[in-house]
Amino acid sequence: MTSVVERLAGDAPAFSVEFFPPRDAADEAILWRSIRELEPYDPSYMSITYGAGGSSRDGTIRNIARAATETTLVPMAHLTAVNHSVAELRNVIGHFAAVGVRNVLALRGDPPGDPNGTWTAHPQGLNYASELVELLRSLGDFCVGVSAFPYGHPRSDDIESDTKHLVHKFRVGADFAIAQLFFEAEDFLRLRDRIAGAGIEAPVLPGIMPLTTPRTLRKTIELSGMQAPQWMLDRLEPLADDPKAFRVEGLNVVTELCERLLAEGVPNLHFYTFNRSKATRELVGRLGLVPVRA
C-alpha cells in the first residue's frame, strides 16, 4: 500500500480530499458519487473522518475499507482516542491493516457533544495524540499523520507551547501534519516556519475549505477558532442573500489563497469536501492540479 509521504514526494504540487462518514444509506450514496467523481483527478490521498459514536465509527471503518479495495485511491483513516480503551484502539488499527489501510491520521479527538468541553480519557485509554502515534508505530508499518493548529490548539496556553506539543508528535513518529483551517496564507506559513525552526522537515499541509455558502464561512470561523479578517467579510457578507454570487466570490477567495500557498512551495492542498465534489473539482482545475492523461 502506497504511503501518504510517498505520494507527497513528487515534483508537482498535488491535492488531497477529506470526507466524513455517512449517516444513512442516502448519505452513503452521495459520498460514493463524490468519491467516484474525484477519483479520475488522482488526489494524492483521500481520508474519512472518525466519529466517536458507534454508527459514525463503523461508517468510517466500512467506507475506508471499501476505498482501499474498490478504488485506485490511496486511503487514509482518521482515528481518535475518544471513548476507546487501548485494547479497542488496537482492534481498530488491526482492522485497518487487514484491509490494506496503512495511512492513519492520529487525533486525540474532541469531547463528545461539546468540542470545547472538558476532556476525559477512557479509564483504559490514552490522553494525548502523541500516545496514539506511539501506539500506531508499535503495531506495524504505518504512515502516521497528525493535526496542527495555525492559531494554536484551543487548549494550549500559547503558540510556543502548542508548537512544542506538535514537535513532540513528530519526535515520537508522526510523518506529516495537516493544519486546521485558517484565513490568510501567512497564518499557515508562520506555522510551517515554526516547525522548520524546530528542526522538523516533515511535510505540513494546509487544510482548505471551499467557501461556497455562508454556512461554509461560518464553519471555517468555528473550526479555526478565529474571526474572519475584515477584508474577507467585506467581500462575502454583502452576497449572503445571493447564493450564486456568494459561491463565485467565495471560490475566488479560496483560489487566491491556494495560489499564494502553491507559490510558497506548499506540496499539497487538503480540501474538506463536505462529501460533495463539484467545488473541489473546480478549484483543482483553476489551480492546474488536474493530472495530464497520456
Q: For residue 179, which amino acid is it?
A: A
pLDDT at residue 293 in the model: 53
* C-alpha to C-alpha distance for 12 and 277, rounded to whole angstroms: 22
| C-alpha cell of residue 29 | 450514496
Measured CA distances, 163 to 84, 199, 267 (Å): 26, 12, 21
Taking the model in full, what pTM does it have? 0.93
Known catalytic residue: 18?
Answer: yes
SS3 124: coil
Cβ-contact 251, 283 below 8 angstroms = yes
Measured CA distances, 132 to 117, 125, 204, 269 (Å): 21, 10, 19, 25
Catalytically annotated residue among 18, 131, 184, 186: 18
Measured CA distances, 96 to 63, 68, 76, 120, 159 (Å): 11, 10, 9, 26, 34
pLDDT at residue 75 in the model: 96
Element spanning 105, H or E: strand 103-107
* Structural domains of the chain, ranges and CATH numbers in brackets: 4-286 (3.20.20.220)
Find the angle CA(180)-CA(243)-CA(34) to the nearest 5 degrees.
Answer: 55
* C-alpha to C-alpha distance for 31 and 161, rounded to whole angstroms: 38
Average pLDDT along the chain, 294 residues, taken 10 residues at a time:
90 93 91 97 94 65 92 95 91 92 91 63 85 96 96 80 93 97 96 95 96 95 91 97 98 98 96 96 95 57
Element spanning 145, H or E: strand 143-148
CB atoms under 10 Å from CB of 74, counted, come to 24
